[in-house]
Amino acid sequence: MHQDQAALRLKPLEALIVTLIILGGISYSIIFAGAVPHIPVVFAIMGLVAYGLIKKVTVKELENGLIEGAKSGLGAIFIFFFIGMLISSWMAGGTIPTFIYMALEAVNGKFFYAIVFVVASVIGMSIGSSLTTAATLGVAFMGVSTALGLSEAITAGAVISGAFFGDKMSPLSDTTNLSSSTVKVDLFEHIKNMAWTTVPAFAISLVLFAVLSPGEAASDFTKIAQLKETLQDQGLVHWYSLLPFAILTVMAIKRISAIITLSAGIISSLFIAVFVQNSFGVQEVMSLLFSGYVSESGSEEVDSLLSRGGMESMMFSISLVLLALSMGGLFFKLGILPALLEGIKGVLNRVPSLIASAAGTAIGINFLLGEQYLSILLTGNAFREPFEKAGLHTKNLSRILEDAGTVVNPLVPWSVCGVFLAGVLGVETAAYLPFAFFCLLSPIITLIYGLTGIKITKTNKKAAA
């Protein structure tokens, strides 16, 4: 949407007051009332509609604002459906279980923190979920750490750093798909561009965890061995189960459409699943793609790790995306967002200030609302047009949404991720925060790139320096 589509022309101060009231209400509901984000967003939409009616904006215009906002998320919704099917098919075909098994093979007593970080990274990329990685293998690593007499805070930091690296760089991740689709950037182009900030953050984190790790340690790795044995007993670990991943990688490198690439990954894994799974017919395939893969190994950890995917599993994300984008459409239609941007126009005419403002907004929304989805959606919609006007490719913005949005959420004690991780790992946020190196480094590196102009892609030669 553009400013000339706004039904109102507000002063920046009035727009700021309305924004603080709306975000303050959402923040209170999520952080203190423990509400699911959808409900406070619905009430925020109601409040904005009421504000518009008071300002004599017609119902038709308000409805158009809601519809236009929601329409901008249709691309993301289609990708989300395909991601859900890809995850369930990769579970059934053994692609993800094989990756998990290979990662567990690397775990031993030497350089424990560094190995935990790498393994969590691989598994996070494999399943596309940081919280699932932390709640399953992360818990196992915490148990091993206790048995070794090592620091629980550093172990938790390694688990969280690796899990969020994997989540950030995985094409299966909902936040990765959301960041790219919000600012209309190709999924794989977004992931490729993120490597410029993510790889340095990963490398520095790996060195730090290696330095902190003991050189030698002895302990009972029974739990890790049991997980590996259970995966093998399920008949899901095969070298050929990695073929769908190879196909997806090649097609992504060739920049083939995300939907075509994901479709190839789904179909190839379903062919393998027919041979891997017993009595795997048409009915089972249809159920798998909609409801997801259900593991019945008898191991709570393995079942929690593998029972994932399906179109149905993406409904939470899709519904929140639609509601948040509809709210964003009202922010535009009522002239609130244009007025806010007008108020800081002097800051937005320089590339370093623009990038710092976008990163600061994503971080601020994480602390204010405690919700990473909203930090991505609100920041992306607010800064997409200013980035385009500054001659910057929007993939710079999608990278910032991940560097300062996705990975910052676990550092906030009252956020969704912060509360969840502290609970499942048994380590307070304040304790693991200094050791969540990857999450701390990502926003710092993206700010450094913004200030220096390193790997900032421009669309024309007139962009502000």
Torsion angle of C-alpha atoms 247, 248, 252, 255, degrees rounded to 10: 70
pLDDT at 243: 92
Half-sphere exposure in the Cβ direction for 411 (13 Å, CA):
24
- Specify whether the CB–CB gap between 355 and 456 falls below 8 A: yes
The amino acid occupying position 146 is: T
Helix (H, G, I), strand (E, B) or coil at 458: strand
Distance set, CA 463 to CA 344, 388, 460 (Å): 18, 9, 6
pLDDT at 86: 84
Alpha-carbon distance 136 to 163, whole Å?
11
- Specify whether the CB–CB gap between 123 and 137 falls below 8 A: yes
Q: Which has the closest alpha carbon to 115: 72, 144, 88?
A: 144
Q: At what angle do helices 437-452 and 187-212 cross, to 10 degrees?
A: 120
Alpha-carbon distance 111 to 225, whole Å?
18
189 contacts: CB under 8 Å, gap ≥ 6: 180, 255, 395
Locate the domains of the chain by residue range. 75-314
Q: 235 — alpha (psi -120 to 50), left (phi > 0) or beta?
A: left
370 contacts: CB under 8 Å, gap ≥ 6: 27, 30, 31, 409, 412, 414, 415, 416, 418
β-partners of residue 322 are none
16-27 b/e with 16+ CB inside 10 Å = b?
eebbeebbeebb
pLDDT at 461: 47
Cα angle: 106, vertex 109, 110; to 5 degrees: 80
Alpha-carbon distance 53 to 48, whole Å?
9
280 contacts: CB under 8 Å, gap ≥ 6: 92, 273, 274
- Specify whether the CB–CB gap between 317 and 373 falls below 8 A: yes
The whole-model pTM stands at 0.70
Distance set, CA 220 to CA 26, 109, 135 (Å): 46, 9, 21
The structure tokens listed for 407 are: 């990975």
DSSP-assigned states of every residue in 337-392 = HHHHHHHTHHHHTSHHHHHHHHHHHHHHHHHHH--HHHHHHHHHHHHHHHHHHTTB
Q: What digits encode the pLDDT tens for the residues 264-291?
A: 989 999 999 888 776 677 888 899 999 9
pLDDT at 208: 96
Alpha-carbon distance 381 to 1, whole Å?
9
Residues of the chain under the 50 pLDDT cut = 1-4, 461, 463-465
Distance set, CA 19 to CA 23, 338, 340, 382, 445 (Å): 6, 12, 9, 12, 29
